[in-house]
Amino acid sequence: MSEVTLIPVDPTADEVQYLEDRIYEFNSRATDIADGEPLAFFVRERDRIVAGICGNTWGGTCELRQFWVDESQRHCGLGTKLFQAAEQEARRRGCTQIVLMTFSFQAPAFYERHGFEVVATIDDHPRGYRNLLMRKGLGPNDEMPQRATAARNRQASSPGFTI
């Protein structure tokens, strides 16, 4: 191969998608799993996106890659509705888990309230913070923390039961 000069560029969305498509093709051939589909929900006000969640499903896993709610729309349940819609669609597609990455300064507490657990942490990414890989199981034995706590509390208040 002749010498190649590499120059950093700002990639276009089409160029990034090209790479994504080649990686998906390789992964599908390597695993013989070719059921990948995008997953996205958006909320619009007057043709402007004010919230959205997107990612993909592939091989029984839903990967959420972007999740954003405009500051003016936060703390009124919109994020929860978007997340629940994505989870319902992931279940409909046969997914048994949802994975995502979030930074320690973003919304790890939100995800924990919705049943996620931290499975890996990268310290100092970005500098002074942590990057968290989180997972939520979607199997029949995977409960939301609030439901599990409520069930334990009901059991604890029943006669003859001790935690």
Residue keyed to tokens 């958006």: 42
Copy the structure tokens of residue 95. Answer: 């997914």
Residue ranges of domains in the chain: 31-156
CATH number, domain 31-156, options 3.40.630.30, 3.40.50.720, 3.40.50.10860, 3.20.20.70? 3.40.630.30
Task: Give the pLDDT of residue 149.
Answer: 43
Task: Give the pLDDT of residue 141.
Answer: 73
Task: Give the pLDDT of residue 15.
Answer: 97
Q: How many CA atoms lie within 13 A of 125 on its CB side?
A: 9
pTM: 0.83
Q: pLDDT per residue over 116-144, tens digit each?
A: 999 999 999 999 999 999 999 998 777 55
Rounded Cα gap, residues 23 and 117, in angstroms: 27
Q: pLDDT per residue over 25-80, tens digit each?
A: 999 999 999 999 999 999 999 999 999 999 999 999 999 999 999 999 999 999 99
Task: Give the pLDDT of residue 1.
Answer: 74
Find the range with the poorest average confidence among 10-19, 129-138, 143-152.
143-152
